[in-house]
Structures are given as structure tokens and as C-alpha cells.
């Protein structure tokens, strides 16, 4: 697997040098300047505006499970759509720039919206080092980097670490998903983390088990408050 990745990514970058760049969502039209999307896809992939709502479908998934300041997604995930194509490329086809751009876009919306305007640090859900080595990067960290640029806030991968390489969450029930990741994460540098308002971020939320497990670890630190932001909300 590692050997195939080492061959694939250089080939991918060389291909981009010799073939015209296309929109990463539809793969048909040239992208807009300084974007990975064409004008048509940019119009079709619309923001949810959940960040402006006191109650929204993302926040509702955590009611009675974990105490959050707020939670929102930039988009709603639909199978077979343009957004699914983008997220697949971000996670599996070595295109981290997608996460960075989507983060910048969402960050520009969050920066002046309460309670996100009081965030002091942005923390991505970590990948296990073995999985990150295979993938080449953590897609949630790319989203965090973009959010940090859009919000003008710091971000760090040093506060939350993954200590267990869990099995895939696909096809598991909500309770099985939570049991699978309940002890997969740990907090580092707790003194620096104390009394911060953390924006915990990931790519896609389905049941929310992974984010819930991470949030519980962060909230165990003195004075910490947690809000959530993800690229997309998927149906359960």
C-alpha cells in the first residue's frame, strides 16, 4: 500500500503539470482564479448557514451527549454529489488544497459570528500516525489550516493526539462507533490548553461519535470550552 502511494502521488503531480487544470468537483470546467472550483460548482455547492442558527441539525446530534458552545457544518453531504467528489479527492487522492480552500471559505463566515469569534485555538481531529503516513496528511488538519487563515486564529495539532488505531466506523451503529473511539484520543499540553475556547474540526460528521469522544477529552481540561465545525453533515 505504501509503495503504491509513493508511486501514485508523484504521478498525480506530474499529470497536473502537463494537463489543463479542471474544477475538482465536476472535472469538466476550468476553475475560477485562485479556486479549485469552477463558477458553476461554486454556485451549486451552497453553505448551510448553520453557524448563524441557535439550533441546527449539527448541534442537535450532540444534545444530551456533550456540552458544546455551538456546532455547525459548512455544507450538507449528499451521495453522488459534487461535494462527495471533493471530499473523496481530499481524503484519498492527495489533494489537501481542497481542505484548505473549504476551510478558508468557512472561516471567513465564522470569524465575525458568535460564539466563534471568541475561539482561541483551532484543533483538528487527529489521524493515527500510521494512517497519516499512508495518506500523507490529515484531511481535518488541512481544513483546520484553512479555517485558521479565514478566521485569523491559531491552529495546532499538538493538543489532541490519537493513541489507538481504531477500525473503520463504516457500517457501525452509533453506540458501536462511540465504543470504538471512546479511548482512542488523549490530550497533551494541558496547561497551555486550560481556559481556551477550542474549535474542534473534522471533515464529515455522521453520528458524531468521533467528535464526541474528542470533545469529552478536551472538556476534561480546566476551563476549556468547545465548539465544533465540519465541512459537511451526512445523514445517519
Indicate if 35 and 53 belong to the same structural domain.
no
Indicate if 11 and 104 belong to the same structural domain.
no
> Mean pLDDT in the chain?
86
The tens digit of pLDDT for each residue in 157-193 reads: 999 999 876 555 454 455 555 556 778 899 998 999 9
List, in sequence order, every residue forming a beta bridge with 186; answer none if it has no partner: 161
Indicate if 26 and 109 belong to the same structural domain.
no
Indicate if 98 and 196 belong to the same structural domain.
yes
Indicate if 22 and 106 belong to the same structural domain.
no
Indicate if 157 and 85 belong to the same structural domain.
yes
Q: Domains in the chain: how many in total? A: 2
What mean pLDDT comes out for the span 118-147?
A: 94
Indicate if 75 and 37 belong to the same structural domain.
no
What pLDDT is recorded for position 90? Answer: 94
- Tell me which of 44, 59, 77 is where a domain ends: 44
What pLDDT is recorded for position 26? Answer: 87
- What is the C-alpha to C-alpha distance for residues 79 and 117, in angstroms, rounded to an integer? 32
Indicate if 146 and 192 belong to the same structural domain.
yes
Other beta carbons within 10 angstroms of residue 170's beta carbon come to 7
Between β-strands 225-233 and 197-205, what pairing exists: parallel, antiparallel or unpaired?
A: parallel
CA-CA distances (angstroms) from residue 53 to 57, 104, 143?
Answer: 10, 20, 22
What pLDDT is recorded for position 11? Answer: 47
Indicate if 2 and 71 belong to the same structural domain.
no
Indicate if 163 and 122 belong to the same structural domain.
yes
Of 105 and 27, more confident? 105
What pLDDT is recorded for position 108? Answer: 96
The tens digit of pLDDT for each residue in 39-82 reads: 888 888 888 999 999 999 999 999 999 999 999 999 998 888 88
Indicate if 30 and 53 belong to the same structural domain.
no
- What is the C-alpha to C-alpha distance for residues 175 and 209, in angstroms, rounded to an integer? 8
Q: CATH no. for residue 152?
A: 3.40.50.2020
Q: Domain residues for 61?
A: 47-233
**Distance between the two ends of the chain, CA-based, in angstroms?**
30
Residue carrying C-alpha cell 499540553: 189
Task: Say if residue 7's pLDDT is above 70.
Answer: no
Lowest model confidence (mean pLDDT) among 9-18, 60-69, 147-156, 172-181: 9-18
Going by C-alpha positions, the residue among 156, 137, 33 that lies closest to residue 93 is 137
pTM: 0.84
What pLDDT is recorded for position 20? Answer: 56
All residues at 6 or more sequence positions from 29 whose CB lies less than 8 Å from its CB, including other chains = 22, 23, 38, 39, 40, 41
Indicate if 83 and 178 belong to the same structural domain.
yes
| DSSP class per residue in 175-220 | HHHHHHHTTSEEE--HHHHTT-EEEEEEEEESS-HHHHHHHHHHHT
Amino acid at each position: 500500500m505504501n509503495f503504491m502511494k509513493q508511486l501514485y502521488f508523484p504521478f498525480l503531480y506530474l499529470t497536473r503539470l502537463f494537463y489543463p487544470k479542471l474544477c475538482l468537483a465536476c472535472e469538466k470546467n476550468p476553475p475560477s482564479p485562485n479556486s479549485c472550483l469552477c463558477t458553476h460548482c461554486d454556485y451549486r455547492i451552497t453553505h448551510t448557514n448553520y453557524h448563524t442558527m441557535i439550533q441546527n441539525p449539527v448541534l442537535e446530534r450532540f444534545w444530551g451527549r456533550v456540552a458544546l458552545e455551538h456546532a455547525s457544518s459548512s455544507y450538507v453531504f449528499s451521495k453522488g454529489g459534487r461535494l462527495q467528489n471533493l471530499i473523496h479527492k481530499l481524503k484519498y487522492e492527495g489533494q489537501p488544497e481542497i481542505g484548505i480552500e473549504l476551510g478558508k471559505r468557512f472561516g471567513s463566515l465564522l470569524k465575525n459570528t458568535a460564539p466563534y469569534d471568541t475561539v482561541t485555538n483551532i484543533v483538528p481531529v487527529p489521524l493515527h500516525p500510521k494512517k497519516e503516513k499512508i495518506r500523507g496528511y490529515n484531511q481535518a488538519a488541512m481544513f483546520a489550516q484553512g479555517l485558521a487563515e479565514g478566521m485569523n486564529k491559531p491552529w495546532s495539532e499538538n493538543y489532541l493526539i490519537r493513541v489507538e488505531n481504531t477500525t473503520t466506523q463504516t457500517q457501525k451503529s452509533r453506540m458501536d462507533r462511540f465504543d470504538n473511539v471512546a479511548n482512542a484520543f488523549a490530550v497533551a499540553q494541558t496547561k497551555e490548553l486550560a481556559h481556551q475556547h477550542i474549535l474542534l474540526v473534522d471533515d464529515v460528521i455522521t453520528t458524531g461519535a468521533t467528535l464526541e469522544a474528542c470533545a469529552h477529552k478536551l472538556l476534561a481540561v480546566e476551563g476549556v470550552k468547545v465548539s465544533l465545525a465540519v465541512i459537511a453533515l451526512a445523514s445517519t
